[in-house]
């Protein structure tokens, strides 16, 4: 095991190496960010002025480009005045990691500046609510329709050509229309997420259902299944775990529609928070909020994957290609069932 190649073609790596690489995939960007933030000569294109000295336009706490600072410094030195003082910094839009880490906490305690402005937790809750409604309404229609299209060629031919066309229309383009129809509150936002999700959902699920092994359907027919019973007892259970996986991927896509959806009408949710904080130049809060979206999306997917392993016990065998769409799924403990000997 230990001597296996790190770069073995299509070979799974041993567990400790998988874990190491996983950690590294997060650590590498973090290290790069830290280096740029904490090593003074790495980038730091600005000088943060602490003592303005005799330079007229320098003020306390001002950031000036290093070239300007050096030029003014030389001038003042030549004239024999009080020299300014300062230290090299990065632009304000690149806060160092520890500040962002701190902001994960402080962003929640930062009091809104305006009356009626929501706290961060309220903004996040609003965003999650919007996503959930959009995805729920889409699924309410998309899943049954997808199953119908996947099962019956009739519905497939009747629906799919139009849906195939419609899915090329970008959901944000309907923003203004949605506002005109649904008002400026959450309605149009949910509608944008619905439009972004629904059409993909029908097609993806129809495809998944079409992939059900025809041999299983034939086997059930020879056992006396037919009609709606066959759909309910064979087609749906045969595809349900793959549909579940599709839904997880689709939910990920819904998150990508969130920001455009929240710009529609009156800006709301996490987008509003990010926007306001950027305006106040609290870039640490901005980064923290963006990362929170990632953390929420990612952890909810992990949770759903875990739930999937519980509700679909027959999928708990060594990786079928579709049951594990993400690299992290390989980190989950595998159920090793003792293989009974032949016959």
Partner 1 sequence: MSAKESTLPDYRDLAPEVATRFDRIRQRPVLLSVQNLEKKFGTNGSTHTVFDGITLDIHRREFICVIGPSGCGKSTFIRIVAGLDEATGGQILLDGKAVTGPGHDRGMVFQGYTLFPWLTVKRNVMFGLEMRGKDKFTAENEARQWLDMVGLSKVEDSYPHELSGGMKQRVAIARALANEPRILIMDEPFAALDAQTRCQMQSYLLQIWKKVDVTILFITHDLEEAAYLADRILVLGTNPGRVVEFIENPVPRPRSPDQFVEPAYLSLKLRLEELIHPPVEVEEDKLPMIKLTNAGDDVE
- Taking the complex as a whole, the smallest distance from the CB of residue 314 to partner 1 amounts, in Å, to 4
- Taking the complex as a whole, the smallest distance from the CB of residue 340 to partner 1 amounts, in Å, to 6
- Taking the complex as a whole, the smallest distance from the CB of residue 17 to partner 1 amounts, in Å, to 27
State the Cα–Cα distance between residues 120 and 282, nearest whole angstrom: 13
Place of tokens 């999700």: 197
Alpha helices by DSSP H, listed for 59-185, are 66-79, 97-109, 120-151, 153-166, 175-182
State the Cα–Cα distance between residues 16 and 191, nearest whole angstrom: 45
238 binding partner 1? (CB under 8 A)? yes
- Taking the complex as a whole, the smallest distance from the CB of residue 222 to partner 1 amounts, in Å, to 4
- Which CB atom, from 116 or from 339, has the smaller least distance to partner 1? 339
- Taking the complex as a whole, the smallest distance from the CB of residue 227 to partner 1 amounts, in Å, to 11
Binding to partner 1, residues 275-334 (CB under 8 A): 312-314, 317
Q: Binding segment for partner 1 among 11-19, 115-123, 192-200, 228-236 (CB under 8 A)? A: 228-236
224 binding partner 1? (CB under 8 A)? yes
CA distances (Å), 116 to each of 190, 202, 258, 270, in order? 22, 39, 22, 15
Sign of the alpha-carbon torsion through 275, 277, 283, 286? negative
Place of tokens 């299944």: 225
State the Cα–Cα distance between residues 33 and 42, nearest whole angstrom: 11
State the Cα–Cα distance between residues 169 and 155, nearest whole angstrom: 22
CA distances (Å), 108 to each of 95, 113, 124, 170, 237, in order? 18, 13, 10, 34, 43
Q: Which of 108, 110, 94, 101 is nearest to 283 (CA)?
A: 94
340 binding partner 1? (CB under 8 A)? yes
What binding mask, one character per residue, do residues 159-198 give for partner 1 by CB under 8 A, x or -? Answer: ----------------------------------------
8 binding partner 1? (CB under 8 A)? no
- Which CB atom, from 321 or from 339, has the smaller least distance to partner 1? 339
Q: What are phi and psi of 24, to 5 degrees?
A: -65, -35
- Taking the complex as a whole, the smallest distance from the CB of residue 337 to partner 1 amounts, in Å, to 5
- Which CB atom, from 241 or from 282, has the smaller least distance to partner 1? 241
**What is the total count of residues that contact partner 1 (CB under 8 A)?**
29
- Taking the complex as a whole, the smallest distance from the CB of residue 246 to partner 1 amounts, in Å, to 17
336 binding partner 1? (CB under 8 A)? no
| One of 37, 200, 208, 241 touching partner 1 (CB under 8 A) | 241
Q: What are phi and psi of 181, to 5 degrees?
A: -85, -45
Q: Using CB under 8 A, list all residues that contact partner 1.
A: 213, 215-216, 218-226, 229, 233-234, 237-238, 240-241, 312-314, 317, 337, 339-343
């Amino acid at each position: 095991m230990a001597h296996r190649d790190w770069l073995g073609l299509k070979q799974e790596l041993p567990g400790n190496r998988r874990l190491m690489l996983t950690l590294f995939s997060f650590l590498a960007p973090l290290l790069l960010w830290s280096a740029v933030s904490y090593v003074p000569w790495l980038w730091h294109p600005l000088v943060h002025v602490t003592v303005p000295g005799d330079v007229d336009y320098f003020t306390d706490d001002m950031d000036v480009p290093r070239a300007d600072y050096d030029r003014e410094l030389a001038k003042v030195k030549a004239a024999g005045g009080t020299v300014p003082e300062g230290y090299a910094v990065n632009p304000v839009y690149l806060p160092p990691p520890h500040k962002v880490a701190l902001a994960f906490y402080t962003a929640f305690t930062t009091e809104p500046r305006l009356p009626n402005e929501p706290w961060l937790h309220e903004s996040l809750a609003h965003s999650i609510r919007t996503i959930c409604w959009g995805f729920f309404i889409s699924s309410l229609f998309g899943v049954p329709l997808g199953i119908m299209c996947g099962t019956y060629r009739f519905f497939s031919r009747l629906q799919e050509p139009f849906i195939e066309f419609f899915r090329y229309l970008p959901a944000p383009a309907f923003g203004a229309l949605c506002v005109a129809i649904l008002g400026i509150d959450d309605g149009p936002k949910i509608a944008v997420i619905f439009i972004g999700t629904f059409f993909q959902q029908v097609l993806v699920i129809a495809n998944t259902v079409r992939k059900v092994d025809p041999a299983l359907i034939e086997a059930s027919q020879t056992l006396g299944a037919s009609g709606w019973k066959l759909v309910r007892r064979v087609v749906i259970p045969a595809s349900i775990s793959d549909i579940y996986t599709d839904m997880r991927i689709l939910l990920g896509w819904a998150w990508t529609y969130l920001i455009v959806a929240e710009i529609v009408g009156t800006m709301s949710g996490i987008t509003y928070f990010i926007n306001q904080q950027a305006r106040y130049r609290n870039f640490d809060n901005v980064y923290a909020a963006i990362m929170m979206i990632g953390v929420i999306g990612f952890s909810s997917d992990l949770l759903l994957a875990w739930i999937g392993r519980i509700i679909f016990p027959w999928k708990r065998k060594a990786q079928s290609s579709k049951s594990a769409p993400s690299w992290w799924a390989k980190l989950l403990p595998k159920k090793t069932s003792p293989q009974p000997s032949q016959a």
